[in-house]
Amino acid sequence: MINIYIAGRITDEPNYKEHFQRAQDMLDKKGFITSNPANANFNFDLGYDNIMHICYAMIDICEGIYFLDNWQHSTGAQLEYKYAVDNGKFLMFEKPEIKQRFKSLEEIKKHYDYIDKIMAQPRK
């Protein structure tokens, strides 16, 4: 099974939990294991930088990231994007043309030839 982290805007987004949950439900139905930071019970007293380190740790155990359509309006999601690219994660996006393009886990595997290579590498 492939583990996917969900990234998107949380700060100043009133319905972020519902948006993340819809994405999680869709990914779960397609056979992914999801890591949803919107379900994490963060103590915001930890501070932004420490919470981002927790999110990076969540990304570390994932093979890829699914970016919600509002990710570009989030500093945290933009940092997660850079972290994912720097660490060789595959990327998926909520944009309609991408959603239609990948209808199943098998189609994603066919499109991204390097998924098998990533999965074969030992986890950090």
What stretch of H or E contains 100?
helix 96-101
pLDDT of residue 110: 58
**C-alpha distance across the termini of the chain, in Å:** 17
pLDDT of residue 62: 97
Domain boundaries, position 10: 3-120
**In CATH, what number is assigned to the domain containing residue 10?**
3.40.50.450
Choice between 106 and 70, residue whose per-residue pLDDT is larger: 70
pLDDT of residue 96: 53
Residue-averaged pLDDT of the chain: 83
Taking the whole predicted model, whether its pTM rises above 0.85 is answered as: no
Quote the number of domains for the chain.
1
Rounded to whole angstroms, the Cα distance separating 30 from 33 reads 9
pLDDT of residue 84: 92
Please report, rounded to a whole number, the percentage of residues in the chain having pLDDT higher than 70: 77
Torsion of CA 106, 109, 112, 118, to 10 degrees: 160
Among candidate residues 69, 68, 58, 9, the one with its CA nearest the CA of residue 34: 58
Instruction: List Cα–Cα distances, 47 to 28, 68, 112, in angstroms.
Output: 30, 23, 36
